[in-house]
């Protein structure tokens, strides 16, 4: 059942934007669940009191935001909204929790390994020096969205897998007094491997977003290096740009 919409026809805000904002709110709040098939744009426009062109522009905005998909001969269907993550020095756990996404974590590995030359360079330690490797599967709203692999100096790890499944990695580091000051980050994309597809519940060869991050504390010391992959069908990075 579509909640009623009161349009402000005297507002400088265009009608199509008012309609799209209303529909976005009821979709993201769950009032209209994923899988719902909308009626035709003509009927929907009549129900909301707008013309077909206005309704079409509003629906296109929802398509652009990944909230609905159009299929010729079928109609317009609501899909599960993607997780949006700001490009800031925060953890995925913190971002999901603050966004009401109910994050859950499965620890796939928590082990000490000897660093090779490439990893040692990332963590700024000597090759062969022991480091801790952490591999986790992060889910939101009951669906897996990311496989995260992190490497940390052994002196920073005093937690077990059970604790890591209850709290975010950055929260545990902050609890130890680590002040994360800055990070270098590279975002990319590639196809999923067979094992990644199974783990993230995606078709084989699906698109993945990738992120590599090296994080430094307020003394300029590397505190972690992460290599993460995200299901592109359910996840986006979001950034704000300003003119210099």
Paired tokens of 25:
């709110």
Q: Token digits for 77?
A: 């269907």
Higher pLDDT, 204 or 81: 204
Can you read off the two tokens belonging to residue 3?
Answer: 């909640």
Q: Give CA separation, 9 vs 19, 21, 31, in Å.
A: 12, 15, 25
- Using the 8-state DSSP alphabet, how is residue 196 labeled? H
> pLDDT tens digits for 87-98?
455 666 666 655
Domain with CATH 1.10.10.10 in the chain: 15-78
pLDDT score of 153 = 95
- Give the whole-angstrom CA distance, residue 182 versus residue 151: 17
pLDDT reading at 49 higher than 90? no
For residue 90, the model assigns a pLDDT of 63
Structure confidence by residue, pLDDT tens digits, 210-230: 999 999 887 788 999 999 999
The C-alpha atoms of residue 112 and residue 2 are separated, in whole angstroms, by 54
Please check whether the domain covering 83-238 is classified as CATH 3.40.1410.10: yes
Number of neighbouring beta carbons within 10 Å of residue 210: 14
Residue-averaged pLDDT of the chain: 85
Angle at 58 between CA 54 and CA 62, to 5 degrees: 165
Q: Is the pLDDT of residue 84 over 60?
A: no
Domain ranges in the chain with CATH number 3.40.1410.10: 83-238
Whether residue 100 is predicted with pLDDT greater than 70 in this model: the reply is no
Question: What whole-number distance in Å separates Cα of residue 90 and Cα of residue 87?
Answer: 8
pLDDT attached to residue 82:
58
Of 135, 127, 134, nearest in space to 156 by CA: 134
φ, ψ for residue 205, nearest 5 deg: 85, 5
Between 241 and 149, the more confident residue is 149
Own/partner long-range contacts of 68-72 (Cβ < 8 Å, ≥24 apart): 68/27, 68/38
pTM: 0.62
**Whole-number pLDDT of residue 202:** 92
Cβ neighbours for 122, distance < 8 A, ≥ 6 positions apart: 151, 214, 222, 225
Of the pLDDT bands very low, low, confident and very high (cuts 50, 70, 90), residue 80 is low
Q: Could you read off the pLDDT of 127-156 as tens digits, one per residue?
A: 999 999 999 999 887 889 899 999 999 999
Given a contact cutoff of 8 angstroms between Cβ atoms, the answer to whether 160 and 110 are in contact is yes
pLDDT at 92: 66
- Please provide the CATH number assigned to the domain covering 15-78: 1.10.10.10
Phi, psi of 50 (to 5 degrees): -130, 165
Task: Show the tokens assigned to 103.
Answer: 């994050």
Burial of 231 (0-12, 13-18, 19+ CB in 10 A): buried
């Amino acid at each position: 059942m579509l909640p009623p919409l009161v349009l402000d026809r005297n507002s400088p805000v265009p009608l199509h934007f008012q309609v799209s904002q209303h529909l976005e709110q009821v979709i993201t709040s769950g009032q209209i669940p994923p899988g719902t098939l909308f009626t035709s744009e003509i009927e929907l426009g009549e129900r909301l009191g707008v013309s077909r062109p206005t309704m079409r522009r509003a629906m296109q905005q929802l398509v652009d935001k990944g909230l609905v998909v159009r299929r010729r001969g079928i109609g317009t269907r609501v899909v599960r909204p993607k997780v949006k993550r700001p490009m800031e020095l925060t953890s995925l756990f913190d971002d999901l929790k603050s966004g009401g996404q109910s994050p859950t974590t499965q620890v796939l590995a928590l082990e000490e390994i000897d660093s090779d030359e490439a990893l040692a360079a990332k963590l700024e330690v000597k090759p062969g020096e022991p480091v801790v490797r952490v591999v986790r599967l992060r889910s939101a709203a009951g669906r897996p969205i990311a496989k995260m692999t992190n490497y940390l100096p052994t002196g920073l790890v005093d937690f077990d897998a059970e604790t890591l499944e209850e709290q975010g990695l950055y929260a545990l580091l902050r609890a130890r007094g680590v002040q994360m000051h800055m990070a270098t980050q590279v975002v990319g994309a590639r196809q999923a491997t067979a094992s990644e597809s199974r783990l993230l519940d995606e078709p084989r060869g699906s698109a993945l977003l990738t992120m590599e991050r090296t994080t430094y504390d307020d003394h300029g010391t590397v505190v972690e290096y992460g290599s993460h992959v995200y299901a592109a069908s359910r996840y986006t990075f979001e950034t704000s740009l300003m003119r210099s």
